[in-house]
Amino acid sequence: MIPNNIPPVTGKELEYIAQVVSGGALGEGGPFSKRCQHWLEERLHGSKVFLTPSCTAALELAALSLDLDPGDEVIVPSYTFMSTANAFLLRGASLVYVDINPGTMNIDPVKVREAITLKTRAIVPVHYAGVPCDMDAIFEAIGSRKDIYIVEDAAQGLFSFDRNGKALGSIGNLGCLSFGGAKNLTSGGAGGAIIVNDKKLIDRVETIRDKGTNRPQFLRGEVGHYTWQRAGVSHVLTEIQSAYLWAQLECADEIQSHRLRIWELYRQALVPLVGERLELPPICLQGQHNAHIFFVKLKNKEESVQFTSAMQDKGISVSAHYSPLHRSVPGSHGRHVLHPQDYTSTESERLIRLPLFYAMTKAQADYVIEQVKHYFA
């Protein structure tokens, strides 16, 4: 069976973890944590990066840092992982679900503009499959409003760039990354980071992240002892996970190059099949994607089910992705800015992800291509 994903392994993970264990300092803030943080800040050009246990934790940290009040509205795409919504729902915000652009599978800036009200406090664009959202259009939709924050859910966006050459996650006030096991790089199965691009939020995020204390300032020698400053959480990444992540960051360019080769191999081989029954991801015109996901779109839900079954019979693991949040039980309580025949529902039913991972061989990719061609023959 060719799996849909295998977490990347570069070969140095165990060596670096052993260094942490022998050193005795397992908590956050050790040398590997600092290396990862500085590497990400330099590569992404964000003002400040803090490592977190997951992208979910990073999103929760972002929501906490905005000091939301009950009734404040947060605009999210309906086509996304539930963590995007949960982070703000748990803070008491009222969620507003908007539709996607079917070409990019990203939030539709026109729908964002329609959804903005005087209660809007944040917009959360999700860069699906590492394809950049149209951030320029989203900022234009906000206009002169200074009370609306942009929180980028760049869980799938590490190493992607917008048309202006800006790294995803470094464009809005805050950006959230994932190092989960299904991502291009991992910190051992779970992990994430929050990128703070709004300098006014740096101290607030740092304090909330460390249980609401000024312990980070204490460790830097800026205060004599640390105290509880505000409500907070413990959203730090352990040194062992940072060691694992550092082994991956050292090989980031190699990992990315391989994923892009597989992605391009898929596209070039399958382009001749494009027609009424099959669509491929569009060429990324709004920047550079990171080959996080290669998906195909079948004609309808029924054919998607048949295609999935046929691939499974041939030993290939393919899978659908998100279900519309606005059609879920928690999502039904939010405000919906979607038409009855929304793209979120129709596109989610026919999108199928093909296998793509760092350890994937060309022979495996060729076999997947062969079986896809055979299905449509």
94: number of Cβ within 10 Å: 18
Tokens of 284: 């990324």
State the average pLDDT for the chain: 95
pLDDT of residue 224: 87
pLDDT of residue 215: 87
Residues 306 and 219 in one domain: no
Residues 243 and 97 in one domain: yes
Is 321 part of a structural domain of the chain? yes
In the chain, what percentage of residues exceed pLDDT 70?
100
Last residue of a domain, one of 226, 249, 272: 249
Q: Which ranges in 210-300 belong to alpha helices (H)?
A: 215-219, 239-249, 252-270
Measured in whole angstroms, the distance separating CA 123 from the mean position of its chain's CA atoms is 15
Is 331 part of a structural domain of the chain? yes
339: confidence class by pLDDT, cuts 50, 70, 90: confident
CATH number at residue 18: 3.40.640.10
What's the whole-number mean pLDDT along residues 306-326?
Answer: 97
Tokens of 285: 């015109």
Is 8 part of a structural domain of the chain? no
Report residue 246: phi and psi, to 5°.
-65, -40
Last residue of a domain, one of 228, 249, 270: 249
pLDDT of residue 340: 76
Is 4 part of a structural domain of the chain? no
Residues 146 and 124 in one domain: yes
Residues 278 and 182 in one domain: no
DSSP structure class, residue 323: P
Last residue of a domain, one of 222, 249, 276: 249
Is 205 part of a structural domain of the chain? yes
Domain range for 315: 252-376
pLDDT of residue 335: 79
What's the whole-number mean pLDDT along residues 88-102?
Answer: 96
pLDDT at 28 over 90: no
Q: In degrees to the nearest 10, what's the CA dihedral of 153, 159, 160, 164? A: 110
Residues 148 and 192 in one domain: yes
Rounded distance between C-alpha atoms, residue 6 and residue 217, angstroms: 39
Tokens of 217: 């300032």
Is 5 part of a structural domain of the chain? no
Is 55 part of a structural domain of the chain? yes
Each residue's pLDDT tens digit, 154-194:
999 999 999 999 999 999 999 999 999 999 999 999 999 99
Contact between 372 and 267 under an 8 Å Cβ cutoff? The reply is no
What's the whole-number mean pLDDT along residues 328-340?
Answer: 85
pLDDT at 46 over 80: no
359: confidence class by pLDDT, cuts 50, 70, 90: very high
pLDDT of residue 106: 97
Each residue's pLDDT tens digit, 273-315:
999 999 999 888 889 999 999 999 999 999 999 999 999 999 9
Residues in contact with 28: Cβ distance below 8 Å, sequence separation at least 6, in sequence order: 51, 236, 237, 238, 239, 242
pLDDT of residue 289: 97
pLDDT of residue 173: 97
Environment class of 268 (CB within 10 Å of its CB; exposed 0-12, middle 13-18, buried 19+): exposed
Segment among 104-108, 214-218, 228-232 with least mean pLDDT: 214-218
84: confidence class by pLDDT, cuts 50, 70, 90: very high
Cα atoms found within 13 Å of the Cα of residue 209, Cβ hemisphere only: 30
pLDDT of residue 25: 81
Number of domains into which the chain is organized = 2
Residues 233 and 272 in one domain: no
Q: Which residue has the tokens 């730090």?
A: 236
Residues 267 and 227 in one domain: no
pLDDT of residue 24: 78
CATH number at residue 344: 3.90.1150.10
pLDDT of residue 221: 82
pLDDT of residue 337: 81
Rounded distance between C-alpha atoms, residue 101 and residue 52, angstroms: 30
pLDDT of residue 26: 85
